[in-house]
Structure 1
């Protein structure tokens, strides 16, 4: 995976985004045939994989494409923080914000490979606010404690237990792809190299924030404040996303709201 010193490959996205905010189109570009919302995984009180639909069954809420976690989990509203994700009705885990965790991430990668030219160049954007862009413990932790598959793609020569070299830090402090409210580091490479079988994912996983091929036939976006990942592409790709048993996904439209108050059915 190579960091790009010229971020023009990603400049097509911003003009196709809606106003910065909580709509689907504020995160993933308009103009695609279909869209899917992939809900970030959750686990139950025993640490076993669960689903948002199962949470709805446990709390008496209604599952639907725009459901919000705090609404279906029965989370409390506090005067200080507005919404608390902690629930008195669901004693399992909560979905991660800004990160599509394993094994859902690899499942999505495998679907994308089937809908992408094997020789196509792909682009990956990483939000620069994760703390990977300077000599901080966050950088050391991600690389030293077993990088997730796609981060291994960025640092193919790094090994667990080693602090990244100064050149690694230089790469991650390079030019930015600038979007409204967000700046990203941009990398390029072939999609198939993003997943390597037999690699153990542990603490420190972080999925790409934006991902797309050179022909722009699809685009994947994980907004840092969302607990779901958005996929835009052809009808056939989105159909595969919606029917993959490893993903909990719903069809959405560009104008749909994913804000905290967007779940009107479980308000």
Structure 2
């Protein structure tokens, strides 16, 4: 069956085969990548989510901790120095910190402990400051790159499935005491401390239990329409997903974030935290073609994406120069403590 676009589907039984091939809930859940990656494929690859690093041009960062060097940081911010920002691979980070890159590497072991936990990312000897790779999201251009490669390894490229974890903020509607989404007008440029603090406040605030004790929850709309929000879910252990079906070529297009039905068009229209340059569409949690030839899996807590498929498909993914990908074995442990090499 050919599909011309990506649409929501309530036929969540299409994902039952995944439930049969991933680890069920229990004391050993999460002991290997099969908490979210199906077993039984010929080969597997791990794609490392790239991180970002930055440093000021022509001058060093002020010293840490901030609390002991407020004058230096105030002078630094007043000078508004140019800051270089670039995407960085895990291998480059390992080179910078003198650690070893390997298939089971964990970011915290590759870059070592932060100088000041919660205040700053680790810095290397050249002055680069490193942010963590994004958990649960593969960069949109890399989603397109992987899909482009994998479409050559399925008999049903025009018919496939995309599952999104329902827990992404504001994706689905539900009963609540405030809006499920906050259309926040930007207080300044990206990275503006005041905007960041306000966003953090909104993300962590809770209902006043004492003054609102008699208040009843009301339905709050999400990015997806109410039919989808109230519809069935693809339920996997510890993770429930909204399911879409359509032509996977949509994800192979680098412009896919502007085209998919889970793009937050309302936020973009408001011109606030998002704009025409930021479609605000999260990357898929699971992608697979109708013939089950392969699966692209990105768990919400993982800073890498796993591909399950044929040896040829995995070999092609690992050979793609746009990706930092390595072959891994079935049953590989990708948990926090799995990096024994850099422990």
Q: If the TM-score is normalised by the length of the shorter chain, which range does it land in?
A: 0.7 to 0.9
Mapping 1:110-189, distance limit 5 Å: 110-117=148-155, 120-131=158-169, 132-134=171-173, 136-137=180-181, 168-189=225-246
The aligned counterpart of 1:18 is 23
CA contact 2:137–2:303 (8 Å) conserved in 1: yes
Mapping 1:27-106, distance limit 5 Å: 27-45=36-54, 46-76=84-114, 86-89=121-124, 91-106=129-144
CA contact 2:161–2:243 (8 Å) conserved in 1: yes
RMSD (Å), alpha carbons: 2.7
Q: Any gaps of 5 or more consecutive residues in structure 2?
A: 1-5, 55-83, 174-178, 185-220, 259-275
Q: Tell me how far 1:260 sits from its aligned partner.
A: 1.0
Bigger-Rg structure (1/2): 2
Q: Tell me how far 1:92 sits from its aligned partner.
A: 2.5
SS of equivalent to 2:296: strand
2: CA distance between counterparts of 1:112 and 1:166? 29
Shifted more, 5-14 versus 20-29: the winner is 20-29
What whole-Å deviation, never above 9, does each CA across 1:133-153 have from its counterpart, x for those lacking one? 016226x68xxxxxxxxxxxx
Task: Please state if 1:3 is matched with 2:47.
Answer: no
Q: 1:13–1:77: structure 2 CA closer, same or farther, 3 Å change rule?
A: farther
What is the aligned length? 241
CA contact 1:76–1:87 (8 Å) conserved in 2: yes
TM-score, length-scaled by structure 1:
0.81
Q: Any gaps of 5 or more consecutive residues in structure 1?
A: 142-163
CA contact 2:161–2:245 (8 Å) conserved in 1: yes
SS of equivalent to 2:241: strand
Q: Tell me how far 1:110 sits from its aligned partner.
A: 0.8
Runs of 4+ more than 4 Å apart: 164-167, 197-201
